[in-house]
Amino acid sequence: MGQTQTQTEAANQPDQKKFLSGAQAIMQSLVEQGVDTIFGYPGGAIMPTYDALYDYQDRLKHILVRHEQGAGHAAQGYARMLNKAGVCLVTSGPGATNLITPIADAMLDSTPMVCIVGQVKANLLGTDAFQECDLIGISMPVTKWNYQVVDADEIPEIMAKAFYIAETGRPGPVLIDITRTAQTDLMTKPFEYIPCKSIISYKPRVEPKAEHVEAAAKLINGAKRPYILAGHGIIIAGAEKELNDFVDKTGIPVATTLLGMSSMDADHPLYVGWPGMHGNYGANVLTNSCDVLIAIGMRFDDRITGDLSTYAKQAKVVHIEIDPSEVDKNVKADAPVVGDAKAALRALLPLVNKANHSEWRAEFKKYDDEEYEKITKKDLFHEGDKIKMGEAVNLLSVKTKGEAVVVTDVGQHQMITNRYYRFKKRNSIVTSGGAGTMGFALPAAFGAKVAVPEREVVAVIGDGGFQMTLQELGTIAQSGLPVKIIILNNNFLGMVRQWQQLFFANRYSFVELQNPDFITIAKGFGIAGHTVSDRADLSNSLDTLLNSDKPYLLEIICEKEENVFPMVPAGGCVTSIRLE
Amino acid sequence: MLTNYTISVFTTNTVGLLNRITIIFTRRRVNIESLTVSETERRGVSRFTIVIKHENREFVEKLVRQIRKVTDVLAVFGYLDDEIVFNEIALFKIATPLGGVPVDVKTINLDWNAKIVHFGLDYVVVEKNGSEADIQEFYTFLKKWEILEYVKSGRVAVGKTEKGLVEFLPEEGIWEIV
């Protein structure tokens, strides 16, 4: 280390006529930006940077994944936990294209990421050189910003800009494509890293306009049946306390979106569950009975609204959102408030009246009771032979006291997990919402564990999704981090099967899986695990999983053809929700 | 009914930005009728003038906001035709072989407000400025000669007022005037 520092210092002396190489400048920029973890995979066009990384190992922890997609999802899990950009480092061509799925996922789920990808030498650009691919072109629709670096001197400024854009406003992924030339060339000036504070063409509004806040407060104060939809924006802004203060004062019932889940204690008396396709009965139906709908940090995704022409038409809409292009995009806002959720709620709090809305709240209770009788009870206290997903998740919730970080993949188990895990702690759900990326959970759980090693991190994954990125078991094993993995195995691509059953006349088209022996696979990677199929063993099995101080895989054999309810049919009206 | 919308996009001068802007149209399956890019009175600021036809004003407003979201975009204005002064330029290369119908320079100049900008050996090049309709009409008139080549620019436009459909002005204007 000493030697490196001396070299770096020496290299920064102008009179020595030797400045940092572009590759060193990348490393130095990361260090000065405060990055300490990189998820990556080396290869030809990024080798100069990996060579520089060799000298920075004491300051930058690099985690070698098994596939670039794993690096991306791990960086997402990491970013979601810490609310700062996850960093990926991969090579050009296929290395970079493998990152596209996580980048697209991060774009839809507003996750800050800085992806540094290698590129062929500048003089080879556009020649179909080995492992050349136009990543700027490919990533353009799925990044918040991207940039190709051909000049080593640009590196500090571009890196600073990348982090600023990724982390501010509505966060998102940024891709920096760095030619091999820019990595190997020496800078022509001393390295200087100035953190980016503003960009002339990019001015995310944090503080909302006072008149907009006043208009929103007026609507809220006049409401008899107000209803809050709290989204991911609450968690990104760290506005959980502000949300609670606001709710406690106004007595307004709150539903959280899939990604906004855990922004409110699941046992809070004003918490009414979640809206959307597999959300709660009351949370959906009463959207069409409220008089003022207060959406905070959410974007009215079609999985929430169903048919827009029948969605909340009776309600005045207050939309608090940092991204102005989301306002009026799907649902017309009567009182838009562009700004950060935390700032907006702080501004609103003194302007809103104290209220109780007990009658209105009781309506949610009525629907809850019906849902409990028709669905929840059957899911949790099921008497058939096979374990149901719901009871497994419920038991996990009880055993972890609702305090674990839960990372889910995509499909039935995801919906079930969000139904039955009772989140007690803020920022505890990591899931692929907008993109619905199967294969997300295993690497994302690993990334989350890297970010918050002190917290219990449990990945809940289906048997289908697990097989999309299971090679990351190798990464987990190598790190030794005790990531807890649950496979809810029903030998089906369950959600697709459910749709085929309900909407395609039982025509099961390619949804049944012949699965491998997951435990043997885990053992092959050096990860212990076992299978449970008997209800009597479920509790002990979860204890074994949770008590392990090493990574552990628990395979739970579940009922094969279980369906997730409630369900709003795709594109249907929220009141057309089915309970069976 | 399809309405013309002219969208003026002000951007920093960055490589690849044209692509970043046009994919917003592609994604929403909107056909771009014309597009011109030019420097502006401010150094380092480019101006895109994009014309589209659409039946839904709200859709265009959303489109404008999506364009504004692009990091390197400084400002976006969406205009209806009566909110702007706009023009196009067309060049016609017309055959004038020996023994053919002579080109009527006077009519072209006075009646059509066009001018001959180049005399070749057996052809002339005529320049015509005006609206799309003006140019179309002139094209019909010129058909009595053989038209060897015809090219027309996209629309250029300046707003009559500062207000467009959706207005986003950068909060600081520190650019140097060229």
For chain B, the domains span 3-84, 87-152
For A398-422, b/e burial (b = at least 16 CB within 10 A) is: ebbebebbbbbbbbbbbbbbbbbbb
Q: Are A98 and A67 in contact (CB under 8 A)?
A: yes
Residue of A nearest to B12 (CA): A201
Per-residue pLDDT of chain A (580 residues; tens, 9 = 90+): 444 444 555 455 545 568 999 999 999 999 999 999 999 999 999 999 999 999 999 999 999 999 999 999 999 999 999 999 999 999 999 999 999 999 999 999 999 999 999 999 999 999 999 999 999 999 999 999 999 999 999 999 999 999 999 999 999 999 999 999 999 999 999 999 999 999 988 988 889 999 999 999 999 999 999 999 999 999 999 999 999 999 999 999 999 999 999 999 999 999 999 999 999 999 999 999 999 999 999 999 999 999 999 999 999 999 999 999 999 999 999 999 999 999 999 999 999 999 999 999 999 999 999 999 999 999 999 888 899 999 999 999 999 999 999 999 999 999 999 999 999 999 999 999 999 999 999 999 999 999 999 999 999 999 999 999 999 999 999 999 999 999 999 999 999 999 999 999 999 999 999 999 999 999 999 999 999 999 999 999 999 999 999 999 999 999 999 999 999 999 999 999 999 8
pLDDT score of B171? 42
Residues in chain A closer than 8 A to B23 (CB atoms): 140-141
pLDDT score of A34? 97
Reference A340, options A298, A371, A375, A297; nearest CA is: A297
- Specify which residues B9 forms β-bridges with: B48, B76
pLDDT score of A333? 95
| Architecture of the CATH domain B87-152 | 2-Layer Sandwich (3.30)
Option in A201, A325, A327 nearest B71 (CB): A201
DSSP codes of every residue in A458-470: EEEEEHHHHTTSG
How far does the CA of residue B157 sit from the closest CA of chain A (Å)? 22
Residue type at position A57: Q
Q: Confirm whether B3-84 and B87-152 share one CATH topology.
A: yes
CATH for B3-84, options being 1.20.1250.20, 3.40.50.300, 3.30.70.260, 3.30.420.40: 3.30.70.260
3-state secondary structure of B132: helix
Residues in chain B closer than 8 A to A165 (CB atoms): 71
Domains, chain A = 2-184 (3.40.50.970), 210-363 (3.40.50.1220), 385-558 (3.40.50.970)
**Cα angle: A108, vertex A109, A110; to 5 degrees:** 95
ipTM over 0.95? The verdict is no
Residue of A nearest to B67 (CA): A325
Q: Are A143 and A88 in contact (CB under 8 A)?
A: no
Q: Which residues of chain B have pLDDT under 50?
A: 165-175, 177
How far does the CA of residue A319 sit from the closest CA of chain B (Å)? 16
Option in A140, A144, A199 nearest B19 (CB): A140
pLDDT score of A444? 98
Option in B19, B66, B73 nearest A201 (CB): B73
pLDDT score of B159? 87
Option in B19, B62, B171 nearest A329 (CB): B62
Using the beta-carbon criterion (under 8 Å), do A325 and B73 form an inter-chain contact? no
Helix ranges (H only) for A172-270 are: 180-184, 210-222, 232-237, 240-250
How far does the CA of residue B66 sit from the closest CA of chain A (Å)? 6
- Strand ranges for A97-144 from DSSP E: 113-119
pLDDT score of A101? 98
How far does the CA of residue B2 sit from the closest CA of chain A (Å)? 21
Using the beta-carbon criterion (under 8 Å), do B69 and A199 form an inter-chain contact? no
Q: What is the 3-state secondary structure (H, E, C) of A40-77?
A: EECCHHHHHHHHHHHCCCCCCEEEECCCHHHHHHHHHH
Q: Provide the token pair at B71.
A: 């990091």
Residue of B nearest to A322 (CA): B69
Distances from the Cα of A333 to the Cα of A127, A292, A293, B51, B167, angstroms: 49, 11, 9, 28, 18
Helix or strand run (H / E) with residue A31: helix A22-33
Residues in chain B closer than 8 A to A202 (CB atoms): 71-72
Tens digits of residue pLDDT in B126-176: 999 999 999 999 999 999 899 999 999 999 998 887 655 444 444 444 445
Option in A144, A148, A200 nearest B170 (CB): A200
- Specify which residues B52 forms β-bridges with: B5, B32
Residue of A nearest to B23 (CA): A141
How far does the CA of residue B108 sit from the closest CA of chain A (Å)? 46
A500 touches chain B (CB under 8 A): no
Distances from the Cα of A81 to the Cα of A77, A97, A304, A521, angstroms: 6, 25, 24, 28
Question: Between β-strands A316-321 and A528-532, what pairing exists: parallel, antiparallel or unpaired?
Answer: unpaired
DSSP class of residue B177?
Answer: B
pLDDT score of A18? 81
How far does the CA of residue B161 sit from the closest CA of chain A (Å)? 22
Question: Between β-strands B32-39 and B45-54, what pairing exists: parallel, antiparallel or unpaired?
Answer: antiparallel
How far does the CA of residue A142 sit from the closest CA of chain B (Å)? 10
Interchain CB contacts (distance < 8 Å): A and B: 47
- Upstream peptide bond of A350 is cis (omega within 30 degrees of 0): no
Rounded distance between C-alpha atoms, residue A274 and residue A280, angstroms: 6
Q: Distance from CA of residue A442 to its chain's centroid?
A: 13
Using the beta-carbon criterion (under 8 Å), do B19 and A325 form an inter-chain contact? no
Option in B27, B66, B71 nearest A144 (CB): B71
How far does the CA of residue A155 sit from the closest CA of chain B (Å)? 16
A145 touches chain B (CB under 8 A): yes
Rounded distance between C-alpha atoms, residue B147 and residue B52, angstroms: 28
Using the beta-carbon criterion (under 8 Å), do B65 and A329 form an inter-chain contact? yes
* Most B-contacting residue of A202, A309, A319 (CB-CB within 10 A), to test interface: A202
CA atoms within 13 A on the CB side of B171: 7
Using the beta-carbon criterion (under 8 Å), do A145 and B71 form an inter-chain contact? yes
A126 touches chain B (CB under 8 A): no
Rounded distance between C-alpha atoms, residue A452 and residue A4, angstroms: 30
* Most A-contacting residue of B14, B24, B29, B69 (CB-CB within 10 A), to test interface: B69
- Specify which residues A406 forms β-bridges with: A429, A458
pLDDT score of B174? 45
Using the beta-carbon criterion (under 8 Å), do A201 and B171 form an inter-chain contact? no
- Strand ranges for B98-160 from DSSP E: 114-119, 123-130, 147-152, 156-159
Rounded distance between C-alpha atoms, residue A496 and residue A487, angstroms: 17
Q: Provide the token pair at A48.
A: 């100069």
Using the beta-carbon criterion (under 8 Å), do B68 and A201 form an inter-chain contact? no
Residues 6+ apart with CB under 8 A from B127: B89, B90, B91, B114, B115, B116, B117
Residue of A nearest to B63 (CA): A325
Helix or strand run (H / E) with residue B52: strand B45-54
Using the beta-carbon criterion (under 8 Å), do B61 and A328 form an inter-chain contact? yes
Using the beta-carbon criterion (under 8 Å), do B66 and A328 form an inter-chain contact? no
Calculate the average pLDDT of chain B: 88
pLDDT score of A7? 52
Helix or strand run (H / E) with residue A363: helix A358-371
pLDDT score of B100? 85
A140 touches chain B (CB under 8 A): yes
